[in-house]
Structure 1
Amino acid sequence: MHGLYQNTRFIAGATNLKGMPSDVGREVAFAGRSNAGKSSALNRICHQKSLARTSKTPGRTQQINFFQVTEDRYLVDLPGYGYARVPGGLQREWGEFIGRYLECRRSLAGLIILMDIRRPLTTLDEQLLQVCVAADIPAHILLTKADKLSRNAAMNTLREVKTRLANHAYGSTTAQCFSALRGEGLEDAQARLDAWLFPENAASSRVPLP
């Protein structure tokens, strides 16, 4: 199934709900703090170098970007949140925009939340998880930049994150380590996307996730 992602292409950017593509099919959105490595993760998952543009200025993306995987299956790149240099008023606007998308988008099958493995589950991350619980949106966490830690340290952080998720009523949320640089966790991330985007093929999923 993962071969499909290499043909993913950008189709639209929206700054409001009316500017979004038709709400049909299935889509998975990617969200995270502005420095969590969201664009790098999308590029790695899709086996492309510049599908999602990376920027040296976090917080630069101010629209929701839609990428077509197949005719009616999509990946969605949400604006990064939590960048200190973005004015507070604009941050609130982005938050409201993302919130409306999460609450209203019927084709949304799941949310990938990216967190720097060295700084997981910030207050803003937990607020997003609360929105997912309230809106009954399945969530999966990618602990990015796992290459910045030793294997043991990364596994310890993953265990701590899973414990916190269970203790804060986010128990249905899954999590894994991920490195866009080394490709660590790539197949697990693609398997999660497969399950959400192509449930008709769930019986033949490559990698069963906990």
Structure 2
Amino acid sequence: MSSPESAAAPRLNYPTAQFLISAPTLHHCPSDSGTEVAFAGRSNAGKSSAINALTQQKALARTSRTPGRTQLINFFSVMNDDARRLVDLPGYGYAKVPEAVKIEWQQHLSEYLRARHSLRGLVLLMDVRHPLTEFDQMMLGFADEREMPVHILLTKADKLKKGPASASLQQVRSRLKEWDDLVSVQLFSALKRQGIDTLSQRLDTWLAS
């Protein structure tokens, strides 16, 4: 998804990002004002690694050897401005927790995505080798309800050769063609720092609004 606004959006300095607060529920989130962009993805999609690569910080978003361990909504301020925020949503999918807990996580995610007025866009992370899972489809459905733009990162692109990675990109774009006005897709590798500038430009557009 390209937009003429992208060229005009001011460049934000993401390495200035600082931890703001962790919230267990929507009620505990910061005031619903300003602008924020949320990062969501399955627990093994590399979400924390992507945020750390974007901000050039090793541990701003905590990674865990146990996928799905983080159960909080984590907020980070950008450029020392609490009115511009990055939001790390709880990972979902492979966590070894009771089914009731998984359902509760899903309810919190649903409430946040449907009710948060300051949310300008969603960055949805998918492993390039396993895109468009049931969870991914659920998140796209939430975004579609609000007509909220989504930027998909096909992560771990370094795990595939250029040809297969490009094929996966085209496959995802083809399957989401009906949402072309709301959804954009790119390849991304936190390890190789691939795609960070493209992601930054998308975030600039959303957070400047």
TM-score (norm 1): 0.91
Cα distance in 2, alignment partners of residues 163 and 194 from structure 1: 26
Q: Which amino acid aligns with 1:35?
A: N
Q: For residues 136-162 of structure 1, give each alpha carbon's deviation from its aligned partner in whole angstroms, at most 9, with x where no partner exists.
A: 211010000000000111111000000
The match for 1:191 is 201
Measured after TM superposition, the shift of residue 179 of structure 1 is 0.1
Matched, 1:7 2:16: yes
Q: Provide structure 2 residue ranges, at least 5 long, that are not aligned to the other structure.
A: 1-9
Name which structure has the greater RCO, CA cutoff 8 Å, separation 6+.
Answer: 2
Matched, 1:97 2:108: yes
- The counterpart of 2:33, out of the listed 9, 24, 40, is 24
Distance 1:84 1:60, change over 3 A: closer
Q: For residues 55-114 of structure 1, give each alpha carbon's deviation from its aligned partner in whole angstroms, at most 9, with x where no partner exists.
A: 000000001000000321000000001115222111110000010001111000000000
Matched, 1:181 2:205: no
Cα distance in 1, alignment partners of residues 118 and 96 from structure 2: 33
Cα distance in 2, alignment partners of residues 129 and 170 from structure 1: 9
Measured after TM superposition, the shift of residue 18 of structure 1 is 1.7
Task: Determine if contact 1:129/1:170 at 8 Å carries over to the other structure.
Answer: no
* Aligned length in residues: 197
Sequence identity (%): 51
Q: Provide structure 1 residue ranges, at least 5 long, that are not aligned to the other structure.
A: 200-210
* 1:107-146 alignment, distance < 5 Å: 107-146=118-157
| Cα-Cα RMSD | 1.1
Q: For residues 14-72 of structure 1, give each alpha carbon's deviation from its aligned partner in whole angstroms, at most 9, with x where no partner exists.
A: 01122111111100000000000000000000111110011000000001000000321
- Name the SS for the 2:135 alignment partner: helix
Cα distance in 2, alignment partners of residues 26 and 3 from structure 1: 13
Cα distance in 2, alignment partners of residues 88 and 181 from structure 1: 32
Cα distance in 2, alignment partners of residues 97 and 161 from structure 1: 27
TM-score (norm 2): 0.91
Measured after TM superposition, the shift of residue 3 of structure 1 is 5.8
- Name the SS for the 1:81 alignment partner: coil
Cα distance in 1, alignment partners of residues 176 and 203 from structure 2: 20
- The counterpart of 1:49, out of the listed 43, 49, 58, is 58
Measured after TM superposition, the shift of residue 10 of structure 1 is 0.4
The match for 1:73 is 84
Q: Which amino acid aligns with 2:165?
A: A
Q: Which amino acid aligns with 1:191?
A: Q
- Name the SS for the 2:176 alignment partner: helix
Range with bigger deviation, 98-107 or 1-10 = 1-10
What stretches of structure 1 move > 2 A for 4+ residues in a row? 169-172
